[in-house]
Amino acid sequence: MQGVNGARITHRIVVPALLTAVLWFPCAGHSEEGGQVVQDKQQSTEEAGNRHKLRSLPLLASDEPNMLGWTRDVYEKQGFMDFTLSMRYPLFYEALDGGYRNNMLPFLSFTGRMGQYFSRHSSPVVTKRFNPKLFLRFYEPSAVSAPGKELWSDDNGLDYYDIGYAHESNGQHVDSPALFDAAVASYGSPAIAQDYISRGWDYLGYKRHLQMHSYGVDSLDGEVRYFLRHGLLQATSEEYNAWEGPRTITRISQVDGLRLKLNFAFHRKWFKGASLSVTTGYKSFGRHDTLRAEMDFTPLSDLFGVPIVVWGQTGYNNNIAQYYRRAWAVGIAAAFETFK
C-alpha cells in the first residue's frame, strides 16, 4: 500500500508540474525579454536543416486525425467499426493578410465520431461525438523570420497556442425515463440503450503545442478544458440524470479537463512514431485518470502509403454517453492527416 500511495502522490505532483510548465511557455516566448529565446530558436532551426522541412498549409486541413478502423470496448460483447472525420478552416484569411497580421488567425473546426455495430439488428450507426469549435491560434514570433519556415506552414513543425470555445456532445436524444424505456424496448437491452442517452456540454479551451526535438521528443501538447454548466450551444449541460441511478462520477470535469500528450517521431521506413497521453479531471484532481498509448506504422508504405495506428486506452470517456465508466479499450485504424 505504501508503494501505491507513493506512486499516487508522485503522479499528483509530476503531472500538474509538467502541465504548468507547458502552459507557461507562451508567456516566455512573447515577452519583451524573449529576443534571445527567438534567436536561439532560429539557430536551432538552422541546425535542424532539412530534417524538419515544412510545407504550405492548405486552407482546408485536418484538425485531428481522420480515422477508419475497428474498436473494442471491454463492456461490449463485440467490436465496432469506428470512424472519425475532422477538419478545420481559417476565417478572415484575406482580411488578415493570410494570417501574418499579429501572428494570429481564427479557425473554425469540426470533429465527429461514429460507430457502426454489425452485431446489432440492422447494423446501426451510432453517433459518439459531435465537436464544433471556434478558436484563435497564436504562433510564436520566430515562425515569421526563422529560416526555412513560413507562417501557417505545417502546424506540426511550429510552436503555437490556441484559445477557443467549443461544444461537445454525442448527438443523442434519450433524456427521460420514458424515452429510455422506449429505447430498451426498441433496441432489445438496457446496455445498448445507454448508447442513446443524451450527453452534452460547452467548454472553454486552451491548448499549447511545443516542439521538443532537443529533448528527444517530437512535440508536446498540454490542454486545459473548462466545462460550463450553461453555454451558448448547450443551454444546460447534460451529464447526469437522477433516473440513471446513483454513481460516483456525475460530472465530466471529474474525468476530463487536464490533458498532457507526448509525441515521438521515429521516421523509420515502416515505424513512424508513437504517443503517450494522460487525462484527468480538475474536479477531484488525480482520482480518475485516463492513459492512452498509440503506435503509428506504415507496413505497406510502398504499396498504399496509409499510416496504421494501433492504440490502447484505460480509463474514462472513450464513449461520451458512458464517460463515467472506467474501462479499457483497444483499436486499430487507418489514420489520415493533412501533415504527418
- Read off the CATH number of the domain in which 269 is found: 2.40.230.10
Of the two residues 26 and 122, the one the predictor is more confident about is 122
Q: What is the mean pLDDT of residues 219-227?
A: 96
- DSSP H or E segment with residue 136: strand 125-139
Q: What is the mean pLDDT of residues 206-233?
A: 91
Q: Taking a C-beta distance cutoff of 8 angstroms, is the pair 128, 96 a contact?
A: no
Cα 157 vs. chain centroid, distance in angstroms?
18
pLDDT at 29 (0 to 100):
44
pTM recorded for the entire structure: 0.81
pLDDT band at 218 (very low <50, low <70, confident <90, very high): confident
**Sequence-separated (6 or more) residues with CB below 8 Å from residue 63:** 86, 87, 88, 107, 109, 110, 111, 133
| pLDDT band at residue 272 using 50, 70 and 90 as cut-offs | confident
Q: Return the residue matching grid coordinates 536543416.
A: 49
Contacts for 287-291: CB closer than 8 Å, 24+ residues apart: 287/254, 288/249, 288/254, 288/255, 288/315, 288/316, 288/326, 289/11, 289/315, 290/255, 290/256, 290/314, 290/315, 290/316, 290/317, 291/315
**Would you say residue 291 has pLDDT above 50?**
yes
- Mean pLDDT confidence for 335-339: 74
On whether the CB atoms of residues 272 and 298 are closer than 8 A, the answer is yes
Total number of domains constituting the chain:
1
pLDDT reading at 230 higher than 60: yes
Digit-coded pLDDT (tens) for 18-33: 666 656 655 444 444 4
pLDDT at 155: 62
pLDDT tens figures, 49-103: 434 444 455 688 889 999 999 999 998 888 999 999 999 998 987 777 666 667 8
Q: How many CB atoms lie within 10 A of CB 221?
A: 16
Identify the pLDDT of residue 220.
93
**pLDDT level of residue 126 (50, 70, 90 thresholds):** very high
Domain with 94 in it = 2-336
Measured between alpha carbons, how far is 197 from 248 in angstroms, rounded to an integer?
A: 18
Residues whose CB falls within 8 Å of the CB of residue 1, separated by 6 or more in sequence, listed in order: none
The pLDDT assigned to 215 comes to 75
Specify the pLDDT at position 36: 46
Average pLDDT over residues 285-313: 86
Closest Cα to residue 274, out of 283, 285, 265, 282? 265
> β-strand 104-116 against 308-315: which pairing, if any?
unpaired
pLDDT band for position 45 (cuts 50, 70, 90): very low
Judged against a pLDDT cut of 60, whether residue 243 lies above it is answered with yes
The pLDDT tens digits for 274-289 are 999 999 999 988 899 9
DSSP-based three-state secondary structure for 6:
helix
* Mean pLDDT along residues 300-324: 87
Of 175-179, 245-249, 264-268, 314-318, the one with minimum mean pLDDT is: 264-268
Mean pLDDT of the chain: 82
- What pLDDT shows up at residue 61? 86
